[in-house]
Amino acid sequence: MALKSHVTARRAILLLSVLAGALVTTRPARAGTITVTTNLDAATGDGLCSLREAIIAANGDRIVDACPAGNGVDTIVLPAGAYPLTLAGRFEQLAATGDLDIYTDMTLIGAGQDDTFIDGRVLDRVFEVRAGAAVQIDGLTLENGDADAEDGGGLYVDASTVTPPIATTPIPPSCSGYCLALPELHRP
């Protein structure tokens, strides 16, 4: 009889474990889409969502002006057009001025390499991807980045992962220093 109650107790524990496991819900992967609504380089509260504000919203998972809060691995959508970076200020690391500093995983999608341009206007780099971020770039062209005699005028990658599809996102030679700087890789 003791053996039968022991087996019954084990079955009850197993059944409770299965039921408890069924009640636990898994959280879906977080992701947000932020669509840029102006080509102005602003962080001013003008009721629009600039590329700079979209980057800041994605980095901080917070609302910035008209840009919705980022939510984990975000996608920033840039409609066709030119997006000149006009807020000068080198060596600032929060994307408020100068280059667009990226700290979190995200995807940037333009309307096509011949239709969407991010122009550094020779004020600073275009993008600086900080350590640990995984970034996908597709359907846009980076131009006129300036690294001030350092590497990475168009795109500087600091121990991160950046996936620029070569066929759709050329990084042109209209930037100073190396256009694409990957410090963890050996360059000739």
For residue range 64-104, list pLDDT tens digits in order: 999 999 998 999 999 999 999 999 988 888 889 889 999 99
- The H or E element containing residue 107 is strand 106-109
CA distances to 5, 17, 23, 118 from 9, rounded to whole Å, are 6, 12, 21, 66
CA distances to 24, 28, 119 from 19, rounded to whole Å, are 9, 21, 56
pLDDT, tens digit, 9 for 90 and up, residues 107-122:
999 998 889 999 999 8
Global pTM reads 0.73
Q: Is the pLDDT of residue 63 over 90?
A: yes
Domain boundaries of the chain, sorted by first residue: 28-181
Residues in a beta bridge with 180? 155
How would you class 149 by CB atoms within 10 Å of its CB: exposed for 0-12, middle for 13-18, buried for 19 or more? Answer: exposed
- The H or E element containing residue 138 is strand 134-138
Mean pLDDT, range 172-179, rounded to an integer? 47
Phi, psi of 181, deg, nearest 5: -110, 120
